[in-house]
Amino acid sequence: MAFIEINGGKQLSGEVNIQGSKNAVLPILAATVLINGIIKLNHCPKILDVFHMIKILEAIGCNASWEKHTLIIDTTKLNTSTVPEEYVRLMRSSIIMMGALLGRTHSVTITYPGGCTIGARPIDFHLSAFQDMNVSLEEEDGLIKCTTTGIVGNEISLKFPSVGATENIILAAVLATGKTSIINAAKEPEITELCKFLNTAGAEITGAGTEKIEINGVEYLHPIEYTACSDRIVAGTYLAAVAGAGGEAVLTGIGAGSLQMVVTLLREMGCNIISGEEYIIISSLGRLKPISLIRTMPYPGFPTDMQSQIMSVLMTATGTSRIIEEIFEGRYQNVKEQIKFGADIQIEGRTAVINGVSNLTGCEVFASELRGGAALVIAGLMARGKTTLHNPYFIERGYEDICRDLRKLGADIKLVT
Ligand code: EPZ
């Protein structure tokens, strides 16, 4: 079995270009189903979750091919609206296919996605929104069958600004009859990116990035070429790696606009960060200061997808920090692995108390989910000596090649297969 080997305890220095955004590209790939033609998606990351999404698109009759980092999708031969069960099990976010298939074919059959390590991850908001849009649901032995005589726009109020539910409603609404308003919509940059993609293809969406999004249904969408934005969480992960290990780095292909809260906290901890339209420069010298309280929140608050990574950085801060994980109830699974480095972390319900220690020691750890795995890489870079990180598969779901990228920043890290 493959594992990642890190010799840590050294400062980082170098430059790395940031890959395309996983959480922007996944809903965009679902959105291609709403377009009957050939779509070119540039700056598409070659990560496992994209490969899974391609398998789903091929399973429903689409064709996909790569030209370097451009993914070309041909949806003209789409021939079914049943999403194969094995891919839903592999990647729960394939639930995003529901809105798109309903929009294109007025039906979808999909397995109930299970939870995962970070949480139960229910989809009740998605399903009740579809029912408010003239979709009828049948659920039998784990399968959800949706049909509609035609999607009808409506006003949908979300109890929580769910990213996936906001995306699924948008996808169902773009070809609907009439207008759909989403109240308490998610404001994540990935929502804005999805709406930019759809508007480029002829949709009429306003309010992306605000808590109220309006979609006027149109007759059809036309094929386009589109360039995906860079991945803000991958960028945030590498900023955290430099913050924790010390040194300096230039990240290119992304600005700090979508990472404001992460940058603010890293500056508060003692990092110097400057940024422009397409670059972020960070330097981190000496031990960092603790943060009294970090609460993960929907955008523009501190992102839950950066919680484990910032926890690793705080493990050697000069005092006590507290994190409250408000979004996913299972996001502290990774802490037992972080403690193996010699960290002092206590979990009290949703609160993690991190007492900074002066140094960490390399060890053998096991990734069990994507961002927790990335946080273990950061801890390995900070720790003196060798770290062996098992189950790198989880990290490859969202990072194109974390070892390649961190070696560009001078890290002594490699994937051993
Ligand atoms: C998206 O997940 C991201 N995934 C997650 O990133 C990210 O952590 C999350 O948004 C929050 O930002 C993708 O974009 C593919 P939610 P999603 O619906 O859409 C509850 C990563 O590491 N909820 O905003 O599933 C849910 O239980 C991944 O890249 C319901 O109760 O997140 C959670 O507590 C991890 N009912 C909260 O809302 C619903 O119907 C936020 O979930 C839907 C959600």
Per-residue pLDDT, averaged over 294-300, amounts to: 98
- pLDDT score of 113 more than 90: no
What does the alpha-carbon distance between residue 239 and residue 277 come to, in Å, rounded to a whole number?
Answer: 16
What does the alpha-carbon distance between residue 244 and residue 266 come to, in Å, rounded to a whole number?
Answer: 10
CATH for the stretch 22-227: 3.65.10.10
What does the alpha-carbon distance between residue 189 and residue 229 come to, in Å, rounded to a whole number?
Answer: 9
Answer whether 122 contacts ligand 1 (Cβ < 6 A): yes
Q: How confident is the model at residue 142, as a pLDDT?
A: 87
Q: Please, what is the end-to-end C-alpha distance for the chain in angstroms?
A: 6
Answer whether 163 contacts ligand 1 (Cβ < 6 A): yes
Q: Tell me if residue 116 is catalytic.
A: yes
Contacts of 141 (CB under 8 A, 6+ apart): none
Tens of pLDDT, residue by residue over 366-404, are 999 999 999 999 999 999 999 999 999 999 999 999 999
**286 band by pLDDT with thresholds 50, 70 and 90:** confident
Q: What letter would DSSP give residue 339?
A: H
Q: What letter would DSSP give residue 132?
A: T
Q: How confident is the model at residue 114, as a pLDDT?
A: 74
Q: What letter would DSSP give residue 259?
A: G
- pLDDT score of 115 more than 80: no
Token readout for 252 is 């290119």
**Closest ligand 1 atom to 299 CA:** 12
Q: How confident is the model at residue 104, as a pLDDT?
A: 96
Residues 385-405, buried b or exposed e (16+ Cβ, 10 A)? ebbebbbbebbbbbbbbbbeb
Tens of pLDDT, residue by residue over 308-347, are 999 999 999 999 999 999 999 899 999 999 999 999 999 9
- pLDDT score of 191 more than 80: yes
Residue 90 φ/ψ, nearest 5 degrees: -70, -35
**90 band by pLDDT with thresholds 50, 70 and 90:** confident
Strands 385-390 and 364-366: parallel
Token readout for 227 is 């360039």
Answer whether 331 contacts ligand 1 (Cβ < 6 A): no
* CATH architecture of structural domain 3-19+230-416: Alpha-beta prism (3.65)
**208 band by pLDDT with thresholds 50, 70 and 90:** very high
- Minimal CA–CA distance to 212: which of 259, 169, 151, 256? 169
For 283, counting Cβ atoms within 10 Å of its Cβ (0-12 exposed, 13-18 middle, 19+ buried), the class is: middle
Tens of pLDDT, residue by residue over 153-166, are 999 999 999 999 99
CB atoms within 10 A of CB 43: 20
**Closest residue CA from atom 7 of ligand 1:** 305
The strands making up 143-148's β-sheet, listed across from edge to edge, are 107-111, 143-148, 135-140
Answer whether 327 contacts ligand 1 (Cβ < 6 A): yes
- Cβ atoms of 266 and 243 within 8 Å: the answer is yes
Residue matched to tokens 């969480």: 233
For the chain, the average pLDDT equals 97
**In terms of DSSP H, where are the helices of 225-272?**
232-245, 260-269
Q: How confident is the model at residue 116, as a pLDDT?
A: 80
Tens of pLDDT, residue by residue over 30-42, are 999 999 999 999 9
State the span(s) of the chain assigned CATH 3.65.10.10: 3-19+230-416, 22-227
Per-residue pLDDT, averaged over 72-92, amounts to: 93
**HEC string of 114-143?**
CCECCECCCCHHHHHHHHCCCEEEEEECCE
